[in-house]
């Protein structure tokens, strides 16, 4: 097992820099430049993981981000652990620890492997069919399914790494730094465009950079040498930014793209502290050049998934780039010329090739000839019908193909091997192009989808555009670039290109076997274990749309989104159903192209920045005085102030009692405040509130209810007339922003003729509310110059005043039913004024109270809270607030809706008070209300919206909405709870001080 398969030095691998790493707890060595995959292969390890459904042994299949099988868990049981990482993309570093996934107890012996033998009873849709019935069993099934399924483990500890987001604006973005991308970037940069070139790999040059074959030459230089010089040149441009290890995840409309730049994943863990790990680039580019290349297709035959079976191009890259032989006895199986490039390259490096199996019968190309000249046996017109070897391939069986390609004929030939390279031709990587809204067309000759219609200013060049040979790429690139960038000339006119590649290809989506289909396992989606048999079953069961087949068989639904096998799935569907591939269309490729970590997505928005909150100017005082906080909209509001180990109930009882017995103080700064000015301000208020405003005199306040056009209560608050054409409106805390935008909407679009200006001043003021029978005494000392007599300063009025030099606006308004004052000062003085009130109020036992006590006090008075006692289905009439709806006004927002046939129904849910039979029983908010518990089905009449124990009334009180509740006064209803029924009586929602005597106490 430890034999080295490192065959030849490569300039991309630094053999003087040895790196040790662990795979499944065992230590191995590799070199700088290796990926985990290449290092494992060099150590002759193919078996990396187990497949998702059948737990079949799986190995490394590719050498890139399209890898479906070799996905591993990194640094298990540490805070940096990460599941589902592709071994083909991990650059090894000292101390790297990786382990296999989806196997227990280990990758060599895995209990789930039994599924492989059970596979006849695990067909497509098995989970859907079996675990559906009975529905009540689902919870039990789910436990076992989740235990035996799942790829990898999520981290359980906080992520120690730093992530960030960055905006980039450029003229031209080039995606992919292969030969096409390099030419595009150089051309753009040379013509003065601000250019960004990105590539997911840690090096530039794509697959050309390691091609040393004499068969591919540009201007008489070997293609990689030619490209090397180009790369050196592009590095000199100041207007060209190059980002490697940067994978474009999403291509949205208007050339808005997201890319992940990976900055520390290739470094030893102990060198990552305080460095940014991933950067999410938000790129806006005027023009985009897709040079995303192409992906080699596998071939679909029986047992095509064993460890040791790789894409032919991957074997080529492991040999050329990493200097690693994937096997000592290699067999290649192909339907096109690509595998011969591999054969010739391997042969040059002294890696043994047992045979090349080509499903084409007549092939005549330079590459084939040279392969044969090298004494490599080529089987023409043959197909692989089976493979063997449990943990690694050890044999392939081949048979001749019938003329029509539908049968395997003749006698079986068996070839021993330890590695099989497969090549089914190439699929343009059009994922990003389609994400952007581009439309594809199907090219029948070689069965590929290529870009057809672009949705934005972008173009595709190179193999992602269906140009697979060097001469095609080099002859079309200059033309495409000149037209796209609107320039006269490129550096690539009239290049002399030698390419020996012959384009002939014999496409058979599902290769025949000597066995019947039912007895084969020909994998189409390796990661999700979907086979050709499953796809045919789905079609037999009536699925026709490719999107439905995908979901039923789970083809293409893994973390790799089926980059390898989607075309074959499509091909099999089209052949079986007799539909044309071009008409079937492809399934939708969705972002991200390769998976993103959550850290990348959230960037800096973690911890205290995850959801930033707003603090009032008095916030620090609340913190210092041990307040518990509640989130209201974006605000942190003091909820209650526990004293001496009090719980919430005790604290609220104490606060509520103090506010009614002597004095309470509340930070009301969060209420929305909108400054309204203009000669039509009064008319504007008339139109937006249900009640009349024209006659409100200067210096007076009025409560207003605001509806939506559908007649439902939207917001409420007190508005004060400061001057003839100047009002200040308050809104609910949560409604401030939406009320302002709603008012702006009407003002700008429906009533532009009104002379009214709205300004949000919520943050400008701090609001201190002092209430209770002693509030007048306290305010008289806080603001000695203010005349507080009822004649001079009655309830619902306003005065400008001064506390020392601090200007303030004082309103005598009340949300508790107590005599009370609201002092509004410039925000920066808020805390000082609050502390002054506390100091003066000390002898009156002034008690700070939070939102919970505020809610209790207003409930005693039957005042509603919009959003708690109302939802978007309550009209003012439903709230028994008919008194606030003007009968005289011709129109206001929502008026017409108040007498729609639906809103005048008598049996609408209406707000009522509820009193429990047992005065100590407190109802649960949200509890259902019924009249008859024995009727089946039980009719739900409504629910409890607010419920408290009132220390002032010494009984429990509640508000609720009940169908037809208005006419049910005194009626007994039932609140059914889990273990009991609570008897309640419908009551007037005003529980305390119906005569409003306390307001002037």
Which residues form the interface with other proteins (CB under 8 A)? Answer: 252-254, 256, 284, 437, 455, 709-710, 741, 744-745, 748-750, 752, 890-891, 895-897, 900-901
Of residues 223 and 690, the one with the C-beta less far from other proteins: 690
Nearer to other proteins, 697 or 901 (CB): 901
- Residue (839 or 902) nearer to other proteins, CB: 902
Q: Parallel, antiparallel, or unpaired for β 57-59 and 216-218? A: unpaired
Is 1000 buried (19+), middle (13-18) or exposed (0-12) by CB count in 10 A?
exposed
Which three-class secondary structure string do you get for 828-854?
HHHHHHHHHHHHHHHHHCCEECCHHHH
Smallest distance from the beta carbon of 456 to other proteins, in angstroms?
9
395 vs 760, beta carbon nearer other proteins: 760
The distance of closest approach from Cβ of residue 684 to other proteins in the complex, given in angstroms and rounded to an integer, is: 14
Q: Least distance to other proteins from the beta carbon of 909, Å?
A: 21
- The conformation of residue 696, written as its DSSP 8-state character, comes to P
- Distance (Å, whole) CA 840 – CA 836: 6
Whether a cis peptide bond, with omega within 30° of 0, leads into 463 is no
Nearer to other proteins, 660 or 908 (CB): 908
Distance CA(947)–CA(912), nearest Å, equals: 12
CB 673 within 8 A of CB 703: no
Cβ proximity to other proteins: between 785 and 891 the closer is 891
- The smaller minimum CB distance to other proteins, of residues 142 and 745, is found at 745
Quote the least distance from Cβ 136 to other proteins, whole Å: 39
**Which stretch of DSSP H or E encloses residue 778?**
helix 775-782
Return the bridge partners of 914, or none. 958, 986
In what helix (H) or strand (E) does residue 981 lie, and over which residues does it extend? strand 981-987
How far is residue 278's CA from residue 255's CA, in Å, rounded to a whole number? Answer: 22
- To which residue do tokens 């290449």 refer? 38
**Least distance CB 753 / other proteins (angstroms):** 10
Smallest separation (angstroms) from other proteins to the CB of 749: 5
Phi-psi region of 281 (alpha: psi -120 to 50; beta: other; left: phi over 0): beta
Nearer to other proteins, 10 or 731 (CB): 731
- Compare residues 745 and 917 and give the one whose CB is closer to other proteins: 745
H-helix or E-strand spanning residue 731: strand 726-731
Minimum CB separation of residue 892 from other proteins in Å reads 10
> Cα separation of 427 and 437, whole Å?
19
Q: How many CB atoms lie within 10 A of CB 718?
A: 20
Per-position DSSP letters for 248-295, written without gaps between them? EEEEETTTEEEEEEE-STTS-GGG-TTSEEEEEEEEEEEEEEE---EE
C-beta of 455 vs 502, nearer to other proteins: 455
In the bound complex, what is the minimum distance in angstroms from residue 745's beta carbon to other proteins?
A: 6
User: By C-beta, is 439 or 997 nearer to other proteins?
Assistant: 439
Nearest residue (CB) to other proteins, 143 versus 254: 254
Q: How far is the CB of 435 from other proteins (least distance, A)?
A: 13
What distance in Å separates the CA atoms of residue 38 and residue 70, rounded to the nearest whole number? 11
Distances in whole angstroms, Cα of residue 614 to Cα of each of 631, 669, 762, 763: 10, 11, 11, 10
Neighbours of 291 (CB within 10 A): 29
Q: Closest distance between other proteins and the C-beta of residue 720, in Å?
A: 23
**Six-digit token string for 49:** 């993981």
Taking the complex as a whole, the smallest distance from the CB of residue 710 to other proteins amounts, in Å, to: 6
Instruction: Tell me how far, at minimum, the Cβ of 883 lies from other proteins, in Å.
Output: 20
Q: How far apart are the first and last CA of the chain?
A: 93
Round to whole Å and give the CA distance between 383 and 600. 45
Contact call for residues 245 and 592 (beta carbons, < 8 A): no
- Nearest distance, CB of residue 737 and other proteins, angstroms: 9
Give me the least distance between CB of 596 and other proteins, in Å please. 17
In angstroms, give the least distance from the CB of 253 to other proteins: 5
**Contact in structure between 365 and 502 (CB atoms under 8 Å):** yes
Distance of CA 482 to the CA centre of its chain: 38
Choose between 274 and 749: whose C-beta lies nearer to other proteins.
Answer: 749
Q: Which residues contact 967 (CB under 8 A, 6 or more apart)?
A: 906
Nearer to other proteins, 353 or 885 (CB): 885
How many Cα atoms are found within 13 Å in the side-chain-facing hemisphere of 469?
Answer: 16
Using DSSP's 3-state secondary structure scheme, residue 569 falls into: helix
Q: How far is the CB of 252 from other proteins (least distance, A)?
A: 5
Smaller CB distance to other proteins: residue 284 or 843?
Answer: 284
Task: Calculate ∠ Cα 725-728-733, nearest 5°.
Answer: 155
SS3 for 292-330 is CCEEECCCECCCCCCCCEEEHHHHHHHHHCCCECCCCCE
Contact 903, 877 (CB under 8 A): yes
SS3 label, residue 883? helix
Q: What are phi and psi of 105, to 5 degrees?
A: -80, -25
Q: Are 823 and 767 in contact (CB under 8 A)?
A: yes
Locate all alpha helices (DSSP H) within 131-222, ordered by sequence: 138-148, 179-190
Nearer of residues 284 and 994 to other proteins, judged by Cβ: 284
Spatial CA neighbour of 927 closest among 951, 905, 956: 956
Decide whether 743 or 854 has the Cβ nearer to other proteins.
743
- Least distance to other proteins, CB of residue 744, Å: 6
Q: Rounded to the nearest whole angstrom, what is the least distance from the CB of residue 897 to other proteins in the complex? A: 7
* CA 804 to centroid of chain Cα atoms: 54
Among residues 439 and 503, whose Cβ is nearest to other proteins?
Answer: 439
């Amino acid at each position: 097992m430890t034999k080295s398969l490192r065959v030849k030095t490569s300039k991309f691998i630094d053999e003087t820099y040895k790196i040790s790493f662990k795979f499944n707890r065992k230590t191995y060595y590799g070199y700088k430049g290796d990926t985990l995959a290449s290092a494992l292969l060099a150590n002759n390890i193919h078996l990396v993981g187990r497949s998702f459904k059948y737990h079949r042994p799986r190995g490394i299949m590719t050498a890139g981000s399209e890898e479906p099988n070799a996905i591993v868990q990194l640094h298990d049981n540490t805070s940096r652990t990460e599941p589902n990482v592709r071994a083909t993309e991990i650059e090894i570093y000292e101390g790297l620890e990786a382990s296999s996934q989806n196997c227990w107890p280990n990758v060599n012996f895995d209990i789930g492997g039994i599924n492989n033998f059970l596979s006849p009873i695990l067909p497509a849709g098995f989970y859907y069919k079996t675990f559906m019935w009975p529905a009540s069993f689902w919870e039990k099934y789910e436990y076992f399914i989740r235990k035996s399924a799942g790829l990898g483990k999520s981290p359980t500890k906080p992520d120690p790494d730093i992530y960030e987001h960055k905006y980039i604006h450029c003229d031209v973005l080039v995606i992919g730094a292969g030969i096409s991308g390099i030419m595009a970037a150089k051309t753009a940069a040379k013509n003065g465009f601000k250019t960004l070139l990105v590539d997911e790999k840690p090096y530039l040059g794509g697959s050309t950079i390691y091609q040393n074959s004499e068969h591919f030459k540009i201007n008489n230089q070997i293609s990689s040498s030619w490209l090397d010089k180009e790369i050196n040149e592009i590095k000199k441009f100041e207007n060209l930014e190059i980002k490697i290890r940067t994978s474009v995840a999403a291509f949205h409309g208007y050339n808005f793209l997201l890319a992940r730049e990976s900055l520390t994943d290739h470094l030893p863990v102990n060198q990552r502290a305080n460095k940014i790990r991933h950067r999410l680039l938000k790129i806006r580019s005027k023009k985009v050049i897709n040079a995303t290349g192409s992906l080699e297709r596998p071939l679909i035959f029986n047992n095509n998934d064993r460890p040791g079976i790789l894409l032919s191009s991957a074997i080529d890259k492991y040999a050329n780039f990493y200097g690693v032989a994937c096997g000592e006895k290699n067999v290649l199986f192909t339907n096109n010329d690509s595998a011969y490039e591999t054969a010739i390259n391997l042969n040059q490096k002294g890696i043994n090739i047992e045979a090349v199996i080509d499903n084409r019968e007549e092939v005549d190309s330079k590459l084939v000839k040279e392969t044969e000249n090298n004494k490599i046996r080529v089987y023409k017109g043959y197909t692989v019908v089976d493979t063997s070897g449990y943990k690694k391939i050890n044999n392939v069986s081949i048979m001749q193909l019938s003329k029509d390609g539908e049968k395997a004929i003749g006698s079986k030939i068996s070839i021993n091997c330890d590695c099989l390279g497969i090549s089914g031709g190439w699929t343009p990587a059009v994922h990003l192009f389609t994400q952007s809204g581009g439309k594809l067309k199907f090219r029948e000759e070689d069965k590929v989808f290529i870009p057809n219609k672009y949705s934005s200013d972008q173009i595709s060049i190179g193999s992602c555009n269906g140009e697979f040979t060097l001469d095609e790429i080099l002859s079309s690139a200059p033309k495409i670039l000149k037209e796209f960038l609107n320039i006269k000339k490129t550096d690539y006119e009239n290049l002399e290109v030698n390419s020996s590649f012959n384009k002939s290809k014999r496409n058979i989506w599902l290769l025949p076997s000597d066995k019947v289909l039912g007895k084969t396992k020909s994998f189409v989606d390796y990661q999700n274990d979907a086979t050709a048999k499953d796809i045919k079953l789905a079609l037999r069961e009536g699925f026709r749309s490719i999107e439905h087949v995908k979901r039923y068989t789970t083809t293409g639904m893994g973390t790799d989104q089926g980059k390898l096998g989607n075309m074959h799935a499509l091909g099999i569907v089209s052949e079986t159903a007799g539909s044309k591939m071009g008409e079937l269309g492809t399934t939708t490729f969705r972002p991200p192209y390769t998976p993103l970590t959550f850290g990348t997505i959230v960037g800096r928005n973690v911890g205290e920045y995850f959801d930033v909150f707003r603090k009032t100017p008095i916030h620090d005082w609340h913190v210092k005085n041990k307040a518990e906080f509640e989130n209201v909209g974006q605000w942190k509001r003091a909820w209650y102030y526990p004293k001496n180990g009090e719980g919430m109930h005790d604290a609220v009882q104490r606060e509520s009692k103090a506010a009614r017995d002597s004095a309470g103080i509340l930070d009301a700064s969060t209420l929305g405040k909108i400054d309204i000015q203009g000669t039509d301000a009064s008319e504007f208020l008339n139109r937006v509130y249900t009640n009349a405003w024209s006659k409100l005199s200067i210096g007076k306040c009025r409560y207003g209810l605001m509806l939506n056009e559908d007649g439902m209560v939207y917001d409420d608050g007190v508005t004060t007339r400061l001057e003839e054409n100047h009002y200040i409106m308050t809104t609910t805390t949560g409604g401030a922003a939406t009320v302002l935008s709603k008012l702006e909407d009407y003002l700008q679009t429906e009533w532009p003729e009104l002379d009214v200006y709205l300004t949000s001043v919520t943050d400008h003021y701090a609001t201190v509310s002092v209430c209770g029978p002693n509030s007048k005494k306290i305010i008289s000392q806080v603001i000695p110059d203010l005349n507080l007599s009822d004649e001079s300063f009655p309830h619902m009025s306003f005065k400008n005043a001064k506390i020392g030099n601090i200007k303030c606006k004082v309103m005598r308004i009340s949300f508790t039913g107590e005599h009370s004052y609201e002092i509004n000062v410039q925000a920066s003085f808020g805390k000082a004024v609050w502390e002054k009130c506390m100091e003066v109020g000390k002898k009156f036992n002034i008690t700070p109270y939070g939102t919970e006590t505020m809610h209790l006090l207003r409930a005693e008075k039957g005042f509603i809270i919009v959003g708690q006692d109302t939802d978007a289905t309550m009209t003012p009439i439903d709230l028994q607030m008919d008194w606030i709806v003007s009968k005289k006004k011709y129109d206001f927002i929502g008026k017409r809706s108040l007498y729609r046939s639906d809103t005048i129904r008598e049996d609408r849910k209406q707000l009522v008070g509820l009193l429990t039979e047992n005065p100590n029983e407190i109802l649960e908010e949200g509890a259902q209300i019924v009249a008859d518990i024995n009727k089946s089905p039980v009719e739900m009449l409504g629910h409890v919206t607010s419920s408290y124990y009132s220390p002032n009334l010494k009984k429990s009180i509640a508000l609720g909405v009940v169908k037809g509740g208005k006419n049910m006064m005194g009626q007994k209803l039932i609140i059914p709870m889990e273990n009991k029924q609570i008897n309640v009586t419908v009551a007037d929602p005003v529980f305390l001080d119906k005569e409003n005597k306390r307001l002037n106490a």
